[in-house]
């Protein structure tokens, strides 16, 4: 049986692969490689993800299922919510509503108030 020699993408060391689809010399190298790649991606996205996550946390904290969940714009901004940083838009009842993960923020017509909706 012929030995399959491969090069580990993390360390650059050559190793004898036990399987044809094996890419890394050890499991630890595989974990470290993917953790490094994901850390780079998270660092690139942090400028946007951080305010979205903060907004979701604010809405989660304020949301009460037994309330109408209407708050003034300045109060929400004072809590740390950014109205310009959301992660998607939903169309609910022919209205485009900005969303922060599992919560949506609907502008109340003719006012500076917003309603929090749990999706």
- For the chain, the C-alpha Rg in angstroms (whole number) is 23
Element (H, E) at 89: strand 88-92
Instruction: Read off the pTM.
Output: 0.69
**Alpha helices (H) in 3-68, listed in sequence order:** 27-62
Q: pLDDT of 25-41, one tens digit each?
A: 999 999 999 999 999 99
pLDDT at 1 over 60: no
Question: What pLDDT shows up at residue 101?
Answer: 92
- pLDDT digit string (tens) for 75-96? 999 999 999 999 999 998 889 9
């Amino acid at each position: 049986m012929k030995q399959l020699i491969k090069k580990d993408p993390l360390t650059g060391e050559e190793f004898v692969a036990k399987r044809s689809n094996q890419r890394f010399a050890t499991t630890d190298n595989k974990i470290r490689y993917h953790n490094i790649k994901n850390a780079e991606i998270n660092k690139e996205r942090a400028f946007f993800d951080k305010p979205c996550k903060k907004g979701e946390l604010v809405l989660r904290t304020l949301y009460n299922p037994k309330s109408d969940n209407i708050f003034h714009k300045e109060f929400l901004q004072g809590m740390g919510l950014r109205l310009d940083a959301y992660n998607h838009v939903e169309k609910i009842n022919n209205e485009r509503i900005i969303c922060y993960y599992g919560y949506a923020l609907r502008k109340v017509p003719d006012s500076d108030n917003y309603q929090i909706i749990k999706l």
